[in-house]
Amino acid sequence: MIEQLRQWIAANQALIYFVYGQVFFVLGLGIALQSRRHSRLQLAKSLPWLATFGISHGMNEWGSLFIPIQSPFLTPAAVVGLQAFQLVLIVVSFFALFQFGIDLLRPFPQGRGWLAGVPMGFLVLWAALSFGLGSRFAHDPSGWHAVGEALSRYLLGFPGAMLAAFGLRRQANLRIQPLQLPRIYRTLQIAGWALVAYGFFGGLVASPAPFFPASVLNSTLFSQVLVAPPPVFRSLAGLILTVAMIRALEVFQVETDRLIERMEQGEVAAVERERIGRDLHDGALQRVYAAGLLAQSLRRTAQGELATRLDDLVSTLSQTIAELRGFLGEVRPVERTGDLVGSLEVIIAEARRASGAEVRWKYRGKPRLTPDRIAHLIAFGKEALSNAARHAHATLIEVDLEVSQGELRLSVQDDGGGLPGTLREGFGLRNMRDRARLLGGDLAIRPGQTKGTVVTLEIPLEPEA
């Protein structure tokens, strides 16, 4: 039975390579057609690399079918050229897979920007070792091809697949799970395990080469032990990865639907805020103001204890008017502008006037953002400044905006009373977390170095067109 299976596999080797290439080509083409460039999910920004991996890897495997068929009709130089092109394809595919995994880790932690250059560093290492080992062990073009292919699997394919699997798991936990999409979350987990399987079958099992580990763990030994050659197992892993990733791309449609829903809710909320603000200004505020004038008029003729009580009444009414005016400022819609720095300077000036605290402001870089993202950032900044002034009773507030390496960092630090022992999330803090999630960023709230609180928002920036 086993011998018959070996014979069938040997007779249908061309079919195996065709299916192998077809699986990965469909993976790349499907992702290229369905990915969303303007999605706020980091997964969407990384998918072009996975599409490049699928298409180039499929073409590489088709080369294993096409070159032997065409060799009798081509000159030796042409065959060598095709083999060289096939080697370039597999190196490009593994480099793209490596880059896909690195991109899924964005935004990088502070001081880890060097991670962006890791795939290129491994590519340079592959080129150096391929030349060195090829000069030592290879005596013909086929030998050079075997050395280069084995090294590409060890240095680019295996670490790229493992890193991509880790990155998919990280994105699923950080970005998909909070959206409460369990089916898509599980699908991404399956895709991660498929990449792990491909990392073993496609990254560690190479063609025979005269150096370790390709001299021991190679496709020949693998076929002898498991009967089926590595392309069969790689095809199965690729098929699972293809189905899982294409199904996971439904998250973009869900994201679009929820964005439309939020926009509709935002418009309704804006109209309602304007109505409340208008009613307060034209109704309650005017009546309270009139009551204050009446109390001041009575105070001028009153004496003794009555005068003292009227002074308290005038003071209370003045505070009420100030609070109502402050509330009117909060319900006023955020101005939709293209200048984040200018908008932040406006709300910082308002915070200085309203709180009496010293507010220091500095920025490094001016990002280009959509009006919607600026609106979320301004609302976030207003909430952070309000918390520092009202709840922390700060006398000094420092606002810092930094733009670098495709990331925006906005921090608000105060010298107030600091965080309570048990932090209870009210409406304001939940609102800040929601805005951070909508911006695709991370919110951190921690105690200051000496006293007070530091609120930091980090969001990724879309590359400029």
Q: How far apart are CA 64 and CA 215, in angstroms?
A: 21
> What's 422's DSSP letter?
S
Contacts 24+ apart (CB under 8 A), 427-430: 428/383, 428/386, 428/387, 429/387
Q: What is the pLDDT along the chain (465 residues), one digit of tens a residue?
A: 677 777 777 777 788 888 999 999 999 998 888 765 556 677 888 899 999 999 999 999 999 888 888 888 899 899 999 999 999 999 999 999 999 999 998 877 767 788 889 999 999 999 999 888 877 877 788 888 889 999 999 999 999 999 999 999 998 888 788 777 888 889 999 999 999 999 999 999 988 888 888 888 888 888 888 888 899 999 999 999 999 998 888 877 676 556 555 555 655 566 566 667 666 666 676 777 777 777 777 777 777 787 788 788 878 877 777 777 666 655 555 544 457 888 888 888 888 877 778 889 999 888 888 887 888 898 888 888 888 877 777 888 999 999 887 789 999 999 887 776 565 666 677 778 888 887 888 888 888 877 888 999 999 886 654
* Residue 119 burial class via C-beta count within 10 angstroms: exposed 0-12, middle 13-18, buried 19 and up: buried
What pLDDT does 135 receive? 78
What pLDDT does 174 receive? 82
Average pLDDT value for the chain = 82
**Cα–Cα distances in angstroms (integers) from residue 293 to residues 97, 306, 310, 314, in the given order:** 73, 16, 11, 8
Please give the CATH topology (third level) of the domain spanning 2-248. Rhopdopsin 7-helix transmembrane proteins (1.20.1070)
Nearest to 153 by CA among 234, 80, 225, 82: 234
What pLDDT does 269 receive? 62
Which percentage of the chain shows pLDDT scores above 70?
85
H helical segments located in 304-452: 304-331, 340-355, 371-386, 427-438
Contact 365, 403 (CB under 8 A): yes
Contact 443, 453 (CB under 8 A): no
Give the chain's end-to-end CA distance (angstroms, integer): 59
Q: Domain 339-465 classified CATH 3.30.565.10?
A: yes
Q: Give domain limits for the chain.
A: 2-248, 253-333, 339-465
Q: How far apart are CA 138 and CA 142, in angstroms?
A: 8
Sheet holding 358-364, edge to edge: 358-364, 396-404, 407-414, 453-460, 442-447
